[in-house]
Chains A and B, each alone.
Chain A
Amino acid sequence: RKEVEQDPGPFNVPEGATVAFNCTYSNSASQSFFWYRQDCRKEPKLLMSVYSSGNEDGRFTAQLNRASQYISLLIRDSKLSDSATYLCAVNNQAGTALIFGKGTTLSVSS
């Protein structure tokens, strides 16, 4: 199993749709989880941390399932501006850095 794995997509959805991405991780001892957004030829930008109890930020909801070792990101009421690549990140075994998935591409169309 790869350390952090994501479905590359692309996910093509219409405006207003709800879309969800999953990300699986292999290290059961991982403690820190994040979702990043990366636009084409730009740096990743921190979207949100993922907390054990789940957390919400506007239209975005992140959840953690420790038993099955995955995190998820739900986007409600998709906007054109949500089109981007979404990267999940999990701390490495040493706790010194993040391991990133290769990203899931989302394309929202009108």
Chain B
Amino acid sequence: GAGVSQSPSNKVTEKGKDVELRCDPISGHTALYWYRQSLGQGLEFLIYFQGNSAPDKSGLPSDRFSAERTGGSVSTLTIQRTQQEDSAVYLCASSSGLAGGQFFGPGTRLTVL
């Protein structure tokens, strides 16, 4: 079946602009996660959505970052007033439960000039 999809695949923006990244999880997966991966670094957890529960936002690095998940499916990650240190690959994953492992989308490569 279809995997996790993300758009855009690449985004180049200027410092100070806002960006929106989109994630479409695997159908039927109730859990959705956002991570980011900087060059040569590990995956950094950002935010977690599970069904209708309040999201776990503990990984968001600053209040410039926010995310929504509408209708329990598609999610958007918004970064306001982008900074150069926001440059990274933003990965979305979904799962039917943490014990089953997470399945990642191809990521959005964000470059802030």
Contact = CB atoms under 8 A, between A and B. Distances in A.
Main secondary structure of the interface of B (DSSP, over half): mixed
Contact of B98 (A32, A87, A100): A32
Contacts of A31: 99
Contacts of B99: 31-32, 49
B98 A95 contact: yes
Interface in A5-44: 31-32, 34, 42-44
Scoring A45, A92, A98 by chain B CB atoms within 10 A of each residue's CB, the highest score goes to A98
Given A43-B91, A43-B107, A98 B42 contact: no
Given A94-B56, A97-B59, A44 B98 contact: no
Interface residues of A, number: 22
Interface residues of B, number: 22
B106 interface: yes
A102 B42 contact: yes
Interface in A63-110: 87, 91-92, 94-103
Interface in B67-113: 91, 98-107
Interface string B4-36: 000000000000000000000000000001010
Contacts of B107: 43
Nearest to B55: A96
Given A43-B107, A45-B104, A96 B98 contact: yes
Contacts of B45: 92, 97-99
Given A45-B104, A96-B48, 11 more contacts: A31-B99, A32-B101, A34-B101, A43-B105, A49-B99, A96-B56, A96-B98, A97-B33, A97-B48, A97-B59, A102-B42
Closest 7 CB pairs of A and B: A102-B42, A43-B104, A100-B43, A96-B56, A96-B48, A97-B45, A46-B101
